[in-house]
Amino acid sequence: MSNPDSFINEVTEEVRREKLFGYLRRYGWIGVVCVLALVGGAAWIEYRNAQARNAAEATGDALLAALEQDDPAARAAAISAVATDGSAAAVTALLTASTQVEAGDVEAAAATLSALSTNQDVPETYRELATIKAAMLPVADTEARLASLEFLSQPGQPFRLLALEQLAYVTLETGDIEATLAILRQIEEDAAVSRGLLERAQTLMVALGEPLPEPATE
């Protein structure tokens, strides 16, 4: 290669470098901002995750400490005093109601479950479970218990079979034997019934005078 060609190539390369440095000086700050945003975002996410973990651990420790109370009434008060939200609040409310029943304060348990069943801040599954548990309590409002259980025992409801079982018990409290047996037959004939629930339903049917079905033979 001649000296003039070499000189031209060197000049061309120098011009390219100048253009590149010019672009870096003009737009390099964008890259710096992007890097800082990525680093800052990752740090913020890690901070939020750490905060959530710490909060969950603190809630768990508080619940464990509350559960260690020997007196049921004191235990219920300690559990209800734990600050929670979302699903944790639902679990705390269910524990509170269970402990209130253990302490003999059925009215307080009913109030706790009623508040949970209407709390729109917790998942629907917990609200429905609270409704079923409230219906299991020996409170005076039988009509309200029947209405809520009839709704939860409709096809497609997640706790349908459990709701049917409780509906049978509440219906039996009213003295309507035939209606109780009709509900128990629904449980017995449902393909999704568990062995334990089937046995409970059949035991009650026998106690009410209903003969057991003949065992299937091949």
Instruction: State the number of CA atoms in the 13 A half-sphere of 43 facing the CB.
Output: 6
Here the tokens at position 131 are 């409704």
What would you measure as the largest C-alpha separation in the chain, in angstroms? 116
Q: Which two tokens stand for residue 128?
A: 């429905």
Distance CA 82, CA 103 (A): 18
The tokens of 159 are what?
Answer: 């706790």
pLDDT for the residue 89 = 79
Bin 104: left if φ > 0, else alpha if -120 < ψ < 50, else beta.
left
> Residue-wise pLDDT tens for the chain (218 aa)?
455 656 566 556 665 666 666 666 666 667 667 777 778 777 777 767 776 676 666 666 766 776 667 777 777 777 777 766 667 778 888 888 888 888 888 888 888 898 888 888 888 888 888 988 888 887 767 888 888 888 888 888 888 999 999 999 999 988 999 999 999 999 999 999 999 999 999 999 999 988 766 654 44
Helix, strand and coil content of the chain, in percent to the nearest 5, comes to 75, 0, 25
Please report the sign of the dihedral spanned by the C-alpha atoms of residue 179, residue 185, residue 191, residue 195.
positive
Q: What is the rounded distance in angstroms from the CA atom of residue 95 to the CA atom of residue 130?
A: 11
pLDDT of residue 218: 47
Q: Are 157 and 128 in contact (CB under 8 A)?
A: yes
Do the beta carbons of residue 163 and residue 185 sit within 8 Å? Answer: no
* Cβ neighbours of residue 181 closer than 8 Å, sequence gap 6 or more: 205, 208, 210
Joined tokens for residue 124: 């629907």
pLDDT of residue 19: 66
CA distance 196 to 194: 6
217 three-state secondary structure: coil
Task: Give the separation between CA 46 and CA 51, rounded to whole angstroms.
Answer: 9
183: exposed, middle or buried (Cβ count in 10 Å: 0-12, 13-18, 19+): buried
Closest CA to 167 of 89, 66, 176, 158: 176
